[in-house]
Amino acid sequence: QDYTCIKLKVIEFSPETQAALAGNKDIEGKTIFMVAATLRPETMYGQTNCFVGVDLKYGIFKTHKSDELFLMTERAARNMAFQNLSPSNGEVSKVADLVGRQLIGTQVKAPLSTYPSVYVLPMDGVLATKGTGVVTSVPSDSPDDYATVMDLKKKPDYYKVQPEWIVPFEPVAIINTPTYGNLAAPTICAQMKIASQKDKTQLALAKDAVYKDGFYNGVMVIGEYAGKPVQEAKPEIRKQLIEAGEAVPYNEPENLVMSRSG
């Protein structure tokens, strides 16, 4: 898969992560990014939060740039080490260990998002075996993201999140499609009566439907490419993010993912 890894700059870590990193000399003076793999760079205007898996293991790693560190799974760091994204070819250099749970409530700056900063929240289905284990959330166009945000809104205590990390961050219209309008995920979730991230079968169908409709029939309604088809805007936005240093290309061969997933 040809992913775009979006660099979500850490503004302030959660108190738990701050405690875990206290005294760590390797992070002093460095900029830390939570790195999220996406196939939909054109949706980045609609980022409302970032997801991690609470039980997943993450690390902070040195990168190809001496002043930048990446927060992601070790598996992703190992893949990146062979894609010119680590200090030297094949080198994985970890400076801290973290667990997803500790990251909840961390505040990050998401490139292109209409919200100046967003929060890290928990999602049940984040796969350790895909991308970086960090997922950027676009509830306007991703049914999984929308359903998860609905769960968190309904049960903040259960999920150990604060309403102010969620409630102010409404989905943002970024793509218009003939079938689902300009808030495809909320629309299809309502139509299919999907109410939770636990509705996995329905969500897979919803995701497939909005993916196709967005890609083939979608038209941008926000940003520099407003009025342009998604197919035209996608590569341009990807290129801009990479040139601005706000994203990196990241490749994950499908068979490699499978063979390492155990």
145 DSSP 8-state letter: H
Which residue, 98 or 210, has its beta carbon nearer to ligand ZZB? Answer: 210
- Residue linked to tokens 């309604």: 221
Segment 101-130, which members bind ligand ZZB (CB under 6 A)? Answer: 125-127, 130
204 binding ligand ZZB? (CB under 6 A):
no
Minimum CB distance to ligand ZZB, residue 236 (Å): 17
Taking the C-alpha atoms of residue 126 and residue 120, their distance in angstroms, rounded to an integer, is 13
Q: Contacts with ligand ZZB: how many residues (CB under 6 A)? A: 19
**Residue 234 near ligand ZZB by CB under 6 A:** no
Residue 160, interface with ligand ZZB (CB under 6 A)? no
* Kind of pairing between the strands at 118-122 and 107-109: antiparallel
- For residues 99 and 58, the answer to whether their CB atoms sit within 8 Å is yes
Binding of residue 136 to ligand ZZB (CB under 6 A):
yes
CB of 147 to ligand ZZB, least distance (A): 12
| Per CB under 6 A, 210 contacts ligand ZZB | yes
Q: How far is the CB of 37 from ligand ZZB (least distance, A)?
A: 5
- Interface with ligand ZZB includes 79 (CB under 6 A)? no
Our CB check for ligand ZZB shows the closer of 37 and 103 to be 37
3-class DSSP string for 181-247: ECCHHHHHHHHCCCCCCCCHHHHHHHHHHHHHHHHHHCEECCCCCCCCEHHHHHHHHHHHHHHCCCE
Cα 191 vs. chain centroid, distance in angstroms?
25
Contact 96, 27 (CB under 8 A): yes
Sole binder of ligand ZZB in the list 5, 37, 80, 103 (CB under 6 A): 37
Its sign, for the CA torsion 122, 125, 131, 136, is negative
Residues that bind ligand ZZB (CB under 6 A): 37-40, 43, 125-127, 130-131, 133, 135-136, 138, 141-142, 207, 210-211
